[in-house]
Amino acid sequence: MPTFAAIDIGSNSCRLAIASVQQHKLKILHEDREVTRLGESVFDAGVISPEAMAATVDALKRFQKAVQAHVVDKVRVVATSATRDARNSAAFKAWVKSTTGWDMEVISGLEEGRLIHLGVVTHEAGARGKCMLIDLGGGSCEVTVSENGRIKEMVSLPLGAVRLQQEFLRNDPPGKDDIARLKKFIDRELKRGERKLGQPKVGLVIATSGTAAALASVGVEEIVAAKKPLKATRTVRTRAKAGYVVLSAETKAVRWLAERLLKMNNAQRAAVPGIGPKRSEIISGGAQVYAALLERFGLKGFRYSPLGLRDGVLAQMLADSDVRASAHQTMEAERWEGIHEVCRRYGVNPRMAEPERVHAGQLFDQLQRVHELPPEYRLWLESAAMMQGVGKFLNHQGHHRHSQYIIAHSEIFGFSPSQRAIVAAIARYLGRSRPDPMDRTMRMVPVDEHIHVQRAVVLLRLAQALNQDRATDAVKLHTKVYPKRVLLQLLPARGRADLEVWALKKEADYFREVFRRELLVDVE
């Protein structure tokens, strides 16, 4: 069975998780973590410092040894807030590539939240109900409202622990003015999040990342009741579940601790059980975010989960490779919800686009001996069929160019930037133009995918030709593949199919150029 590795290059630390697939599930084989503070210089000067780059690359070298030792089949490296914001992220990406051979993928805040959600709902049975997920990292905070394992709403806010420390809490302990500015900034960003999320009524709040772990580990509920000194007692509400301890914290306890931490210096914070010397430098801002967020949304508290972005990346890799995995169903549902949302946003009725999607899938299945495309291209092809008309929202003339831009730059859950680039390229070349390696569109597509995109374009052009008259029922399609030709047999639901035959014959020359076969059309 395959073995996967997920690497999360965060604003505060780098994390590695290696897992093997066993009975359609993931089994963690190895984990590693290194604090590199990649975001410190980014949130101060807008660039990643050479020292932070070097520390991160050194950590990746160590990760690479573990990857090689476990004979990993596929590695995915994702970078988050600090790399998104840095002006020199391209140089950092090139350094990582030259040193490790890995392509570092810079993901958006919403994609980060989606992957975290996927990782949590894949492994946490309790997350299948209506719940809220909070992930406060070094540079950003993703808040997700989920119901029955599906994302309902999500917002990404610039409230990461490292970012807040660099921008507001440089003095140790911070002064009154610094604290006031910090709280004002947090309040402003949470108001923006509230406009997006509303006031969701959830039965469970799951928090991930190191700040949540530290806040839950301190466990101050009994301290508040007993009015004891913070350093004298370490109690935490725990319960054994599935072989590990579940940590949780109540809102009033988080607020009490958040205010207490602001009055301490770093040495005092580091001495608090559950925080430690590495987390103590950045916990004050993160604690304020948790306290304010829980209060604003009227939440009783949160339960900590050790799952995170790396678990979501592994779950997506499993879903992409194993259609029988539960994560596959979750991811497919998210992808199609994202596609339908883009269609609705840009005035495309998904029901009107459905016949073209169906024909694209049929052509993919019936012509596999001809196109020899990887299995995942069935989804890319159907996605392009659904969204190829979104460019008409901007202008009907040249709408294929507009469709390509919209698809490539839209946030579509479940699609990485390179996957969106592939779908956008397939949708782009449905007019007079043909894929050219020198086109800007094709330069966004990995070089080894160019031939696949060209073949998928031909299939989508045929699907489009089969749907010339949307006012009547779609024609039924049968294909016969011969060594030197392909026969498309059409069966109209009613009436004739002259327009479809004419449109298909127009594609015969391009079909022959790409597949080295003649294209014949017949009406039954």
Q: What is the pLDDT of residues 252-298, one digit of tens each?
A: 999 999 999 999 999 999 988 888 888 898 999 999 999 999 999 99
Q: Between residues 9 and 472, which one has the greater pLDDT? A: 9
Q: Between residues 126 and 467, which one has the greater pLDDT? A: 467
Read off the CATH number of the domain in which 39 is found: 3.30.420.40
Structure tokens at 31: 């984990």
| Phi, psi at 75, each rounded to 5° | -120, 135
Rounded CA separation 233/273 (Å): 9
Q: Taking residues 455-472, report their average pLDDT.
A: 86
Rounded CA separation 421/412 (Å): 12
> 109: part of which helix (H) or strand (E)?
helix 109-123
- Asked if 57 and 94 sit in the same domain, the reply is yes
Task: Let me know if residue 517 belongs to a domain.
Answer: no
Task: Let me know if residue 204 belongs to a domain.
Answer: yes
Q: Please, are residues 325 and 18 in contact by the beta-carbon 8 Å criterion?
A: no
Domain that holds residue 11: 3-107
Query: What's the pLDDT tens digit per position in 115-171?
Result: 999 999 888 777 778 899 999 999 999 999 998 888 889 999 999 999 999 889 888
Read off the CATH number of the domain in which 384 is found: 1.10.3210.10
- Asked if 140 and 283 sit in the same domain, the reply is yes
**Cis omega (within 30 of 0) for bond into 173:** yes
Query: What's the pLDDT tens digit per position in 220-261?
Result: 443 444 444 433 233 333 333 334 456 888 999 999 999 999
Q: Please, are residues 38 and 10 in contact by the beta-carbon 8 Å criterion?
A: yes
Rounded CA separation 343/327 (Å): 24
Last residue of a domain, one of 435, 450, 470: 470
N- to C-terminal Cα separation, the chain: 46
Using alpha carbons only, give the angle 193, 194, 200 rounded to the nearest 5 degrees: 120
- Asked if 238 and 387 sit in the same domain, the reply is no
Task: Let me know if residue 119 belongs to a domain.
Answer: no
pLDDT of 36: 92
Using alpha carbons only, give the angle 411, 412, 414 rounded to the nearest 5 degrees: 125
Identity of residue 237: R
Mean pLDDT rounded to a whole number for the chain: 89
Read off the CATH number of the domain in which 168 is found: 3.30.420.150
- Neighbouring residues of 23: CB distance < 8 A, sequence distance ≥ 6: none
Give the lowest-confidence range in 65-69, 361-365, 393-397: 393-397
- Asked if 71 and 209 sit in the same domain, the reply is no
Query: What's the pLDDT tens digit per position in 37-55?
Result: 898 888 888 999 999 999 9
For the chain, how many residues are written? 524
pLDDT band of 469, cuts 50, 70, 90: low
**DSSP summary character for residue 474:** P
- Asked if 60 and 31 sit in the same domain, the reply is yes
Task: Let me know if residue 315 belongs to a domain.
Answer: no
User: Does position 333 have pLDDT exceeding 80, yes or no?
Assistant: yes
- Asked if 159 and 243 sit in the same domain, the reply is yes
Q: Taking residues 467-489, report their average pLDDT.
A: 83
Last residue of a domain, one of 470, 489, 504: 470
- Asked if 18 and 69 sit in the same domain, the reply is yes
Task: Let me know if residue 239 belongs to a domain.
Answer: yes
User: Does position 183 have pLDDT exceeding 60, yes or no?
Assistant: yes
Q: Please, are residues 236 and 256 in contact by the beta-carbon 8 Å criterion?
A: no
Task: Let me know if residue 513 belongs to a domain.
Answer: no
- Asked if 161 and 81 sit in the same domain, the reply is no
Last residue of a domain, one of 58, 74, 107: 107
Q: Taking residues 13-22, report their average pLDDT.
A: 94
- Asked if 148 and 90 sit in the same domain, the reply is no
Residue with tokens 């909070």: 134
Q: Taking residues 317-345, report their average pLDDT.
A: 86
**DSSP summary character for residue 201:** -
Q: Please, are residues 117 and 145 in contact by the beta-carbon 8 Å criterion?
A: no
Rounded CA separation 411/416 (Å): 9
Q: Taking residues 26-38, report their average pLDDT.
A: 93
- Asked if 300 and 359 sit in the same domain, the reply is no
Q: Taking residues 100-129, report their average pLDDT.
A: 87
Rounded CA separation 42/48 (Å): 5
Rounded CA separation 386/375 (Å): 18
What would the 3-class secondary structure string for 1-22 be? CCEEEEEEECCCEEEEEEEEEE
Task: Let me know if residue 521 belongs to a domain.
Answer: no
Task: Let me know if residue 220 belongs to a domain.
Answer: yes
- Asked if 266 and 166 sit in the same domain, the reply is yes
Domain count, the chain: 3
pLDDT of 470: 54
pLDDT of 227: 47
Query: What's the pLDDT tens digit per position in 398-441?
Result: 899 999 999 999 988 888 888 999 999 999 999 889 999 999 99
- Asked if 152 and 194 sit in the same domain, the reply is yes
